Amino acid sequence: MLFLALTLIGLNESFAQQKSGYIKYSIDVIVLDTTPENLNVGRLLRDSKIELFVTENNYRVESYTGPFGSSSMICDYSKGQILTLSTNTMGKYARITTIKDALKKPEKIVTNTVVNRDRQRKILGFNCYYVELTENGSTGKFWCTDEIDFRLQGQSFMSESLQGYPLSIQKEDSGFQFTYTASNFIDRIDNPEITFSLEIPEGYTMIPNN
């Protein structure tokens, strides 16, 4: 009986999924098209990062792209709204959209997924497997885990067609190779009422939806 009880506990632990927490992604940029302009942009993007704050009812995506600016996407599922805050050389701007509008697809997406669970890797203690996902001819390479189940509806950072949750993402775009790798994980969110507030901060200009 003791052996059976310990076995059941082990099974419950192995299938438990993390549904809330904080993840920081460090971004590595490789210049593929080595024009002088691209080399300069690559240097400016060196300290870029993305931070995710997630609960079962909310998420917040923070993107930092060096001197090019930063953005925040804050989603509240209970209100069905997403607040986007962006800062760049032109100023500070805010926009509120509905999750329903954010989920609208402008075009048909053709996907092809190749999953190789025999290729294993650990990232921040999570067991990951290799996935290649092609969407409309553009291929991304991912290391995914089934131990995290974050809801991120209405954002473009990760594909909804992806199996598992990615802790490493590699994509090519506009002559650059971007690799996002999870570098920090915390299993809780402190002060969620502040982190996920949809109140527009002072100093931001409201942009109406089209």
- Phi/psi for 100 (5° steps) reads -60, -45
Residue 10: pLDDT over 50: no
Whether residue 6 is contained in a domain is answered as no
**What digits encode the pLDDT tens for the residues 115-134?**
899 999 999 999 999 999 98
Q: Does residue 97 contact residue 209 with C-beta atoms inside 8 Å?
A: yes
Give the H/E segment covering residue 5.
helix 2-15
Whether residue 77 is contained in a domain is answered as yes
Domain of 127?
Answer: 18-206
- Phi/psi for 194 (5° steps) reads -85, -45
pLDDT above 70 covers a percentage of the chain that reads: 89
Residue 105: pLDDT over 80: no
Whether residue 168 is contained in a domain is answered as yes
Whether residue 10 is contained in a domain is answered as no
Whether residue 8 is contained in a domain is answered as no
Whether residue 3 is contained in a domain is answered as no
**What digits encode the pLDDT tens for the residues 11-25?**
333 446 899 999 999
pTM metric for this prediction? 0.83
Whether residue 185 is contained in a domain is answered as yes
**What digits encode the pLDDT tens for the residues 41-83?**
888 787 789 999 999 999 999 999 878 889 999 999 999 999 9
Q: Does residue 76 contact residue 58 with C-beta atoms inside 8 Å?
A: yes
Q: Which domain CATH number covers 26?
A: 2.50.20.10
What string of DSSP letters covers 74-120? EEETTTTEEEEEEEETTEEEEEEEEHHHHT--SSPPPEEEEEEEEEE
Whether residue 78 is contained in a domain is answered as yes
Q: Would you state the pLDDT for residue 11?
A: 36
Task: Please state the domain count of the chain.
Answer: 1
